[in-house]
Chain A
Amino acid sequence: RKEVEQDPGPFNVPEGATVAFNCTYSNSASQSFFWYRQDCRKEPKLLMSVYSSGNEDGRFTAQLNRASQYISLLIRDSKLSDSATYLCVVNESTDKLIFGTGTRLQVFP
């Protein structure tokens, strides 16, 4: 079983739609969690951290369920510029970041 699993997509949604990505992780000792965004042929960039209480940054909401070892990212009012691959990232106790293979989002007009 992969340490961090994501649905690869692609998710094709119209502008203005709400879309949600899910991610599961296998190591229950994992300590912190993040979403990174990677544009085509570019490097990954931190989108947001994920906290147990859930957190929001504008149109983006991240949630963590430690009991189910599940992380989610919700994007409201999708924009064309949101088209990218979204990487779920887990920080294990060994100070390593483990990246999921990513979920590709394509927003169309």
Chain B
Amino acid sequence: DAGVIQSPRHEVTEMGQEVTLRCKPISGHNSLFWYRQTMMRGLELLIYFNNNVPIDDSGMPEDRFSAKMPNASFSTLKIQPSEPRDSAVYFCASSFIPGDPPQHFGDGTRLSIL
């Protein structure tokens, strides 16, 4: 079975550009999570969806970040405009029951904003 699929694996772009990260959860999983990981702050939950509905977006840093889940098999995390401090690894994870591991993680997107 395919795991959580994220794209792109790496993204390097200039400050001010729009960045879109994509995630396909495991089929049948009804919860989807977006995390950001940095050396200083570790793994932080940005937002999570249950049955395609955003449940908690309190971790979204500011209005420049937005996330959508138009259907059960696809989600996007968008940053507009991007800033150098957004550089991090962004992980998407999915699970069958929210908060019940294992949350299966994708390979992550390594984002660098110049």
Contacts and interface: CB of A to CB of B under 8 A. Distances in A.
A96 B59 CA distance: 11
B58 to A, nearest CB: 9
Given A95-B98, A95-B99, A43 B45 contact: no
A89 B102 CA distance: 11
Interface residues of B, number: 21
Contacts of B98: 95
A94 interface: yes
Contacts, number: 46
A64 interface: no
Contacts of A17: none
A60 interface: no
Query: Chain A: interface residue count, which band?
Result: 20 to 34
A43 B109 CA distance: 10
Contacts of B114: none
Interface stretch (A21-29, A66-74, A75-83, A99-107): A99-107
Contacts of B41: 101
B42 A96 contact: no
A46 B102 contact: yes
B43 interface: yes
A74 to B, nearest CB: 20
Interface in B75-107: 91, 98-103, 105-107
Contact of A44 (B44, B45, B100, B105): B105
Instruction: Please give me the 10 A-B residue pairs with the lowest Cβ-Cβ distance, nearest first.
Output: A101-B42, A95-B99, A43-B105, A46-B102, A99-B43, A95-B98, A91-B99, A46-B101, A44-B105, A34-B101
Interface of A: 32, 34, 42-46, 49, 87, 89, 91, 94-102
9 contacts: A32-B99, A45-B105, A46-B103, A49-B101, A87-B42, A95-B55, A97-B33, A101-B43, A102-B42
